[in-house]
Amino acid sequence: MDKFLTLTWFRRLVQLFFFVIMVYGSLFMTTFYSEDKFTGALPALSCAYDEQSGDYCTLIPFQHQMDHRVSGIFTSDLSVMQALLPTLITLGTFILLMVILNKAFCGWVCPLGFFQEMIHSLGDKLGFKRFHTLGTSTLKKVRPIKWLMLAFLVFIFPLLTGIGFLGHEFGDPFCRICPSRILTTLAVGDTSQLYIDNSSTGYMVFSIIADLLFGLMIAMALTIKQPFCRICPMLALQAVFKKVGLLRLVKNGSSSCEKCGLCEKVCPTDIFEIKEAVDKPTNITFADCTLCGLCVEFCPDDDVMQLQYAGFPVFKSSKDYFKKRNKDQRNWEKVTWADVAPK
């Protein structure tokens, strides 16, 4: 029982809870329609195509607003304020949620993040060789992709569609390729989002990318930690507002930081900068951080790494916890599919 008293196990339970809420929420909350959703601007990939979802992702209204409303500044007699007001309301809701949980929406709430973690664990148990890091040079190439996805797929293409420069298929281009759309609809038994669309070249290309990306993400997740998160525009959007969040990852100065490097090794998004030593307590909630807390769990020094809420430590590293956690991890890694499979 003692081995379950870890931050990771607690996080898994929270993730499972939110997976059920975000994918099947309407079944037991008597909700069915967007009007019943918690926020309509959730900083996690909870999809509106899933008719049973409890809430949906903020990238959906942003794309629609760019296409149908903000574009009105250029195409109709809408005033700037009229055109921007819905976007400002969505942004306000998003920022409010960011204040409450910051980037933990990725590491604790997102159904796609949870799914990838589960696939990774499955890959581990099936004996797939894990990549502890993608390597600094690969990471430097991959990291800008999420910013490009955010800029083009969430804002620029939908806006150009609304103005009339692009076809309708570019009205919500991120949703068209988002793996969460396929995952969450399949999870409720709805196969309607798994298709190739022949109605136009644009729709066809988007649908082919979506299907390939979904398969690719599953294959990658077997050995690489959080493959889609690394290019997810939600991670980028959250990074813009990470400083307003009350929940933060804070590092205190320690002379042993650069020798150890365990925090970098366990980080699901390979933030190599995390191991760099600091002189004074520093907020190290990096752009790619999902506030999963693994680095705090695996830090072997007392109080060096902390998860702080409004300046108060809610979870901090310690030698004793590290010893216990490390032992549990080694025991967990020893268990393979061959051990549990019926002989």
208 binds another protein (CB under 8 A): yes
Taking the complex as a whole, how short is the minimal distance between the CB of residue 139 and another protein, in angstroms?
13
166 binds another protein (CB under 8 A): no
- Which listed residue (10, 74, 147, 203) binds another protein by CB under 8 A? 203
CA 213 – CA 90 distance, rounded (Å)? 28
Q: Which stretch binds another protein (CB under 8 A): 14-22, 206-214, 229-237, 289-297?
A: 206-214
- Which listed residue (79, 199, 331, 336) binds another protein by CB under 8 A? 199
CA 156 – CA 66 distance, rounded (Å)? 8
Q: Which helix (H) or strand (E) holds 331?
A: helix 319-334
For another protein, the closer of residues 60 and 267 by Cβ is 60
Within positions 103 to 132, which residues make up the interface with another protein, using CB under 8 A?
A: 129, 131
Q: CB-based contacts of 26: which residues, under 8 Å, 6+ apart?
A: 32, 36, 51, 52, 53, 54
Q: Which stretch binds another protein (CB under 8 A): 100-108, 208-216, 264-272, 286-294?
A: 208-216
Q: Angle of helix 179-187 relative to helix 201-221, nearest 10 degrees?
A: 70
Within positions 215 to 244, which residues make up the interface with another protein, using CB under 8 A?
A: 215-220, 222-224
Q: CB-based contacts of 327: which residues, under 8 Å, 6+ apart?
A: none
List the beta strands (DSSP E) in 253-311.
282-283, 305-309
30 binds another protein (CB under 8 A): yes
Q: Evaluate whether 72 touches 80 at the Cβ level (below 8 Å).
A: no
**Interface residues toward another protein, by CB under 8 A:** 30-36, 40, 48-49, 51, 129, 131, 168, 191-192, 194-200, 203, 207-208, 211-220, 222-224
